[in-house]
Amino acid sequence: MNSLLLAIITFLGFIVAYNTYGKFLSRKIFEITTGRKTPAVEKNDGVDYVPTKKGILFGHHFTSVAGTGPIVGPAIGVIWGWLPAVIWVVFGSIFMGAVHDFGSLVVSARKEGKSIGELTEEIVSPTSRTLFLLIIFFCVLIVIAVFAMIMGLLFNMFPTSVFPIWLEIPIAITLGWLVYKKNVNVTLVSIAAVVLMYISIWVGTFIPFNMPGLIGGSPLLTWVVILLIYGYIASVLPVHTLLQPRDYINSHELYVAMFLLFIGMIVKHPPIAAPAIQLSPEGAPPIFPFLFITIACGAISGFHSLVSSGTSSKQLKEEKDALLVGYGSMLLEGVLAILVIIACTAGLGPAEAWTSHYANWAAADGLGAKLGAFINGATYFLTPLGISPILAKTILAVFVVSFAGTTIDTATRIQRYVVHELGDCLKIKALSDKHVATSIVVLTAFLLAMASPEGKGAMILWPLFGAANQLLAGLAFLVITVYLAKNGKPLVYTLIPMVFMIGMTGWGMILNMIEFYQNQNWLLLILDIIILGLELWMIVESVNVLNRHRSRKLEATAEA
């Protein structure tokens, strides 16, 4: 299969899907209107609720939901062959991920900008709300600690990326000040910001920075602490001061990187060297259900529902913008995942080179191997454009680290909301204070990171994250489905994805449970059982709500 042909077919498929299925859902299922006021307008507080132009909000949302997920997941998932990975990314994005993100955004925007966890109380039941918030807290805790570690590792692996990544902060603050305080044309300052960013990437190749081991003698631990402090600051500042403009700059920087990859693909258009299907790689878990858990971002990810309902719904200026922000950004993430698949299967060279990276599951599953496969493969597409190898690798390193950075600051903010909502459940008023809540968020992430040397403690729980994250997607679909049922809408468009995701993740968690038991990993076994139990409890609660709703409808029909 030619890599360019594969890219063109899939990209066209995403465009058609947005203009057909996406618009159908918008008009017929969710009935998006132009007259309904959004929470950003009604509750505008200049901190969390800020009406935002859809182009800026799209940039924030896209970079926040993407993270390194659409790079890491597909870079591992191709071990089962490029064809299953492509099919899952394309159809998963169109019929599951984009519907999930769009639905979470719309429902939240119609319920005062409440998070998907808090929405559960009104739509399902108070008990379900508490269960859902506990699952969310667990997942986001792992995300913050793991991504702080990943960014630290990437800074150590690619020291030329340090200068441009940290320069993004003053550039972003300046951009936000010019747009919101001085009403400067957003297009002009965006162009200037992106030009400055790419100049900083070039400068970074001459001034690599290697962090000394200031804390515990470990450069990685030092980075983890610094990044958690940054997450705290980004979480408590008004959203348009740092978080939103930084994500907006990142989005344009990433558009440029993706465009360069596509142009390089046109120039080189190599054939795909990897096998189309490889059902039993050495040491790998079964393709069913683990393909659908390994490739999350790029197809569907539960974390996206937290961004849609946690930050983006509070910035949605007009309801009609939800289609582009929710549905469109997920399809663009699918485009990124396809580029990663092509880089890892065609950009590495002949079949022998691909096999050296994917000789077995242990090789493909390592962080260095999967990032190396993407960066080396993507560099192959950039160098024919006259970009030097070191500059190409720096561009790609900044590309990856920027995504990880937006995940940290967005996840920290989301976790602050979760702590606040748990405080409401437990009647603890102190947790409504943003500094108290954020301190708890950062402290728990730090304690998790410190559970293992050099700040790698989150990796202890990482084996649970994939299934728990996809379980979160299934439960978000559950809330959206109950919402549609209560509003008399067809359920098939969310019910089928919900059953699929809950079924696949439940299957995966049971297989993990067996493995944890065999390996006598009692901590992960107990946590796996607890999460699965919370899932089943919430499903039962939701089924009871649907049955009561159906009974009331039948009684009303009989009386009529």
**Residue 359: is its pLDDT beyond 70?**
yes
Among the residues of 110-161, which ranges form H helices?
116-123, 126-157
Amino acid identity for residue 558 in this structure: A
> pLDDT band at residue 375, thresholds of 50, 70 and 90?
confident
Range with the lowest mean pLDDT among 48-57, 219-228, 397-406? 397-406
Helices 389-426 and 162-180: angle between axes, nearest 10 degrees = 60
DSSP annotation of 438 reads: H
Query: What is the residue-averaged pLDDT of the chain?
Result: 91
The mean pLDDT value for 8-19 works out to 97
Structure tokens, 388? 């030097």
> pLDDT band at residue 550, thresholds of 50, 70 and 90?
confident
pLDDT of 560 reads 62
Domain with 356, as residue range(s), is: 3-559
The mean pLDDT value for 273-278 works out to 92
pLDDT in tens, 49-107: 999 999 999 998 998 898 788 888 999 999 999 999 999 999 999 999 999 999 999 99
**Residue 525: is its pLDDT beyond 80?**
yes
**Residue 22: is its pLDDT beyond 80?**
yes
Number of domains in the chain: 1
pLDDT of 254 reads 83
**Residue 556: is its pLDDT beyond 80?**
no
Q: Are 64 and 252 in contact (CB under 8 A)?
A: no
**Residue 368: is its pLDDT beyond 70?**
no
pTM: 0.92
pLDDT in tens, 466-514: 899 998 999 899 999 999 998 999 999 999 999 999 999 999 999 999 9
Q: How many CB atoms lie within 10 A of CB 548?
A: 10
DSSP annotation of 316 reads: B
Backbone torsions φ then ψ of 316, nearest 5 degrees: -70, 110
DSSP codes, 34-57:
SSSPPHHHHT--SSS---B-HHHH
pLDDT of 312 reads 96
Amino acid identity for residue 310 in this structure: G
Judge residue 187's burial from the number of C-beta atoms within 10 Å of its C-beta, 0-12 exposed, 13-18 middle, 19 or more buried: exposed
Q: Are 419 and 431 in contact (CB under 8 A)?
A: yes
Read off the CATH number of the domain in which 219 is found: 1.20.1740.10
Q: Are 271 and 3 in contact (CB under 8 A)?
A: yes
**Residue 113: is its pLDDT beyond 90?**
yes
pLDDT of 48 reads 93
pLDDT in tens, 145-179: 988 998 998 899 889 999 999 999 999 999 999 98
Between 534 and 7, residue with greater pLDDT: 7
